[in-house]
Amino acid sequence: MTNKRPHHHGNLREALIIAGVQLLEEGGVEALSLRKCAAIAGVSHAAPAHHFAGLGSLELAIVSRGHDKFAEYMIDARESAEQTPRARLGAICDGYIKFSRAHFALFKFMFQPRELEPDLFDEATWNQFQVASTASYQVLRDACEPFDHGKAGDQVTEAMVWSMVHGYAMLFSKKPSKLAPFELVPEFSTLLPPLTLKK
């Protein structure tokens, strides 16, 4: 219905998301504002209200865009890897960390836990987020599937790998890491413990 240049601007929603990602990556979360996004898109400061339920909705749309890129990084790494379960898992972790380093502001923003009450967002933004975040997580989940963690179930492998790669990305992606009192941060591949394949 409103797909092709609906009125004045012609896909303002998309332009606002792109502007938001740009502001976020250039100046961090403090530089992100609805009014600046509107200015970059060339519309008045109140125009975004017709596409997002508020700043929170725009933020969630930016997070969704982040998940899209995030999944791309992991999938690219997986495709370039040796095709064994262990190598695929290692490659996906590398993609995870590579993304966090290449787009640290966005990565940090994506995993800053929010109040995720669906009624705070417009439906389109919410649905898009559900799809994007589930898809990016599924990449990691699939890579864990071949491994066995005994009677405790697959969730243990997923939780272990995800915890480790996520903690590593959060703590050691920004360098020099003021958080980490390390001279040299070890490679992630040296941290991942051995895993046993299913039966």
Euclidean distance between CA atoms 189 and 184, whole angstroms: 14
Contact, 34 vs 45, CB < 8 A?
yes
Using CB under 7 A as the binding rule, the residues of this chain from 53 to 72 that contact DNA are: 54-56
Residue 189 engages its own copies in binding (rule: CB under 8 A): no
Q: How far is the CB of 178 from DNA (least distance, A)?
A: 20
Say which DSSP state 112 is in: S
Q: Contact region for its own copies (CB under 8 A) — 17-25, 41-49, 80-88, 175-183? A: 175-183
The answer to whether 60 touches 126, Cβ cutoff 8 Å, is yes
Q: How far is the CB of 56 from DNA (least distance, A)?
A: 6
Residue 36 · residue 23 · CB < 8 Å: yes
36 binds, among DNA, its own copies, none (CB under 5 to 8 A by kind): DNA
| 47: contact with DNA by CB under 7 A | yes
Q: Which of 152, 175, 196, 198 binds its own copies (CB under 8 A)?
A: 152
56-79 as b/e, with b when 16 or more CB fall inside 10 Å?
bbbbbbbbbbbbebbbebbbebbe
Binding site for its own copies (CB under 8 A): 28, 104, 108, 111-113, 115-116, 133-134, 137, 152, 155-156, 158-160, 162-168, 170-172, 174, 178-186, 190-191, 193
